[in-house]
Structure 1
């Protein structure tokens, strides 16, 4: 779950003698004295962090030109979540290192940045009192402004009090052990800082999370498995994500496995096992088959207290092959499961089940109003309309969000027409309610919506834009319309996201083009159907990438 992500590169910049991608948000900034550690310890640490999937900016003071920070360097320090300063004997002889350290500590004070010092073949007391070569090195900067040198000395003193590592005291100076400890700590801190992507306009969630939290027995000596069940679109995943975020600070080892129903059908359970194992151990792990995955989970995780969220489970096999009965993990581990099918939880013997019911009428009105009016209550002229429409949605958050977004800024005539349509649809027919927004899209935007549902969920929005441009679809406008209507979401990394109910709705529309003959549909997204009709000239798109 703690996966690193980056924005697409926009160009290159020569910083510290090393080519760096511009536009990246680094997770770790690595500051060191090149002459002391570049070719040994620092290179080993840098490579190990990169191999763990961590996005690292490695600076090198000796390869810099001039006296001022470049904007890329300053931005890299400020945007990093963690800074690692490798304080070595000759560290204080470098003006660049001292400038970086001052800036790093400034980010710690003002932005809460995590600073992890490594005292490489020096003791913290030497750094604190500037004795030995460190003292000689700092005194060599007398030609600089006295106040600047004083600030550098204060920075060295401040960092000496921070909790870090003394290289000579870790397994008698064994650097390989130290590197593993640092990587492990960085992974843990990044996971602790990471929060799952949840909607901003939450209503009725806090009380439900508190209710579940109060039932968790901290003294329970096994694995606590929590099953959250309810119909599609009712908010199970959102509730589970908020609960996961609340609990995450108590666990070093965590994993969020999403869209299990869809992923298992397309890529198999082995893919899910591989993600779970790799996320928890912090490195890629090869799984040859499902039984192999079970064996790895059983043998390697008994000493790990884990927090796992399994989202959209629709088969007992998913639980059997991913978490078993919970005994594979250390005591007081927690597994959260979301499903539409309560019988899966019953069959698996999950004793802590939570049924997610519809929102109350007042809660529904608040959520609807936030999307329809951008405030917590309806406009006076629309209050009756709003209550009528809300009463037809059955308290389903997804329907309230989509229909509210669709009606935002519409005329009263449009509100009346929508209300009449909704009255004809039973509460349980969620997808029919959602079709109202799809039907209102112009044809080009419908095509973009269908493409996303079939091929581009989880992809960067930049990837399909070239294709849509070539089709004359005006993708910039289309994506904006879909986003404003809450039909898609775009995360902080510019990836396209879509609720599984909307995804299933769009794919059903494709299937209805011809239910019996896949070759006569405009899109194919399953490998089995595509294999049958690759010779047909009716196929417009064939996806080889999982979504």
Structure 2
């Protein structure tokens, strides 16, 4: 009809055709026969609800060094493809896993039909159970706050039925058990094409067991980023005061790229004098700040008894030692070090160096030693492991050792003779590991524990071992540069 009416101005008609076609393809609301004012009000309410739903998460007060992590995660996620992907973010406590997950969530949430960020899965499961997490997931993705599932098994079916056709972005933060994944994101077919599930955890094995193929291990900050993060928290600007630069370097060296440590210590040192910085740094060499200790200890508390014992032995005695050597010593102590060390690696508590040596973040080592120190803060003779020169000398010279002591390592004391109490080892009946190197004693002990599995005493001061020493469990004996000429009555598995 318009073509006939405007036959002399066909360009206008063509423009109308294009405009009408574009309008017809727009998604929106249909008025039908409703009242226009009510219709407009419903549109406003729905848009307002959507805006609130899309509110960004607070990532970090000073998000230093995030760009490289976001780039790596973007590549793993490849948002836009129609496959369903699960991507794991793993690493040590305090390394920034949750911060990265929040930043990625904020970046991509708008590209999904529905989205949900389930924070603190570990803690929420312990406190409220998995049913509440299932209901929260459904509430956030479906927009139905009244939906109840009743029990975990029904919750699984509801999630599968309601979300299998929806493009969902789901973040499961701080997962520590396989059960949590099985009941919140059991399989890729629970979610519609294009969905992405991000999982943060301290335990890489949880990801492996659930079949998560794409994993991102979070590493510490670079020296430059660490300085900047510390400066933002200590001085509220991106660069430090010039006269604090050396002190800043010492804190950064202590933190070894761990954002948690830099944020906590930076806040602690805000507006402090140089003398207060110096005092704090000296204090930190002996004991962790309480907030840092509590966060890191979560990983230790989740270990089984076998792994706990192995972790404490490494933290107190064997950091930097060859893995095969340590495995041998730990096997002699009736531990299961092959699986134990692997678990510690998966939980980012230990890693293996290029030459096969056991490595551990300095702050993690200090956390382990703090755990032992807390066994008996005021009396070292009642702790399970001794490594401090001061504590060992107190125990050996004052004869305050007890049945609690399982291991002692004294290394490089110096040239001064140590006045050993002859009965110092008498009460240490559970002592299984004794390492004394580069230390001179005035005399040897009158007794040693028959539970010893590993005895390494360089420069042993006496011509013979105690006559009542019957080490039937001893696996390794090293007495080089000692005064002993021969051994009588001792049978060893390895000498």
How does the TM-score come out when normalised to structure 1?
0.46
- Are 1:371 and 2:233 matched, yes or no? yes
1:327 alignment partner in structure 2: 189
Q: 1:282 aligns with which of 129, 132, 143?
A: 143
Structure 2 gaps, min length 5 = 1-25, 298-366, 377-495
| Contact 2:77–2:196 (CA under 8 A) maintained in structure 1 | no
CA distance in 2, matches of 1:294, 1:212: 28
The offset of 1:182, in angstroms, is: 7.4
Return closer, same or farther for 1:240/1:392 CA change in 2, 3 Å cut-off: same
* Match runs of 1:436-455 below 5 Å: none
Report the aligned-residue RMSD. Answer: 3.6
- Number of positions where the alignment pairs a residue of Structure 1 with one of Structure 2: 277
| Contact 2:64–2:225 (CA under 8 A) maintained in structure 1 | yes
Q: 1:202 aligns with which of 57, 63, 70?
A: 63
Residues 463-485 of structure 1 deviation map (CA, whole Å, 9 limit, x = unaligned): xxxxxxxxxxxxxxxxxxxxxxx
| Contact 1:367–1:401 (CA under 8 A) maintained in structure 2 | yes
CA distance in 2, matches of 1:176, 1:228: 47
The offset of 1:410, in angstroms, is: 1.1
Q: 2:32 aligns with which of 165, 168, 174?
A: 168
Return closer, same or farther for 1:249/1:381 CA change in 2, 3 Å cut-off: same
1:307 alignment partner in structure 2: 169
The offset of 1:405, in angstroms, is: 1.0
1:250 alignment partner in structure 2: 111
SS in 2 for 1:421: helix
CA distance in 2, matches of 1:432, 1:273: 28
* Match runs of 1:180-259 below 5 Å: 186-192=48-54, 194-218=55-79, 220-259=81-120
The offset of 1:338, in angstroms, is: 0.7
The offset of 1:264, in angstroms, is: 0.3
Structure 1 gaps, min length 5 = 1-161, 436-504, 515-547
2:201 alignment partner in structure 1: 339
Q: 1:316 aligns with which of 172, 178, 181?
A: 178
Runs of 4+ in structure 1 deviating by more than 4 angstroms, as ranges, are 175-186, 432-435
| Contact 1:222–1:327 (CA under 8 A) maintained in structure 2 | no
* Match runs of 1:452-531 below 5 Å: none
Q: Max radius of gyration: which structure?
A: 2
SS in 2 for 1:312: strand
Return closer, same or farther for 1:285/1:215 CA change in 2, 3 Å cut-off: same
CA distance in 2, matches of 1:260, 1:360: 29
Residues 370-401 of structure 1 deviation map (CA, whole Å, 9 limit, x = unaligned): 11111112211111011011110121111101
CA distance in 1, matches of 2:154, 2:184: 12
| Contact 1:255–1:279 (CA under 8 A) maintained in structure 2 | yes
1:395 alignment partner in structure 2: 257
CA distance in 2, matches of 1:261, 1:348: 16
| Contact 1:222–1:326 (CA under 8 A) maintained in structure 2 | no
Return closer, same or farther for 1:320/1:245 CA change in 2, 3 Å cut-off: same
Q: 2:134 aligns with which of 273, 279, 286?
A: 273
SS in 2 for 1:327: helix
| Contact 2:56–2:106 (CA under 8 A) maintained in structure 1 | yes
| Contact 1:422–1:433 (CA under 8 A) maintained in structure 2 | no
| Contact 2:247–2:277 (CA under 8 A) maintained in structure 1 | yes
| Contact 2:83–2:193 (CA under 8 A) maintained in structure 1 | yes
Name the structure where helix makes up a greater proportion of residues: 1
The offset of 1:191, in angstroms, is: 2.5
| Contact 2:101–2:171 (CA under 8 A) maintained in structure 1 | yes
Return closer, same or farther for 1:182/1:413 CA change in 2, 3 Å cut-off: closer
CA distance in 2, matches of 1:304, 1:164: 19
CA distance in 1, matches of 2:139, 2:77: 27
Residues 221-261 of structure 1 deviation map (CA, whole Å, 9 limit, x = unaligned): 43211110111111111110000000011013111111110
Residues 127-176 of structure 1 deviation map (CA, whole Å, 9 limit, x = unaligned): xxxxxxxxxxxxxxxxxxxxxxxxxxxxxxxxxxx996442168xx9x99
CA distance in 1, matches of 2:282, 2:93: 23
CA distance in 2, matches of 1:266, 1:513: 28
| Contact 2:116–2:169 (CA under 8 A) maintained in structure 1 | yes
The offset of 1:411, in angstroms, is: 1.6
CA distance in 2, matches of 1:178, 1:290: 41
Q: 1:381 aligns with which of 237, 243, 253?
A: 243
CA distance in 2, matches of 1:375, 1:198: 18
| Contact 2:31–2:39 (CA under 8 A) maintained in structure 1 | no
1:292 alignment partner in structure 2: 154
| Contact 2:76–2:87 (CA under 8 A) maintained in structure 1 | no
How does the TM-score come out when normalised to structure 2?
0.51
| Contact 1:226–1:354 (CA under 8 A) maintained in structure 2 | yes
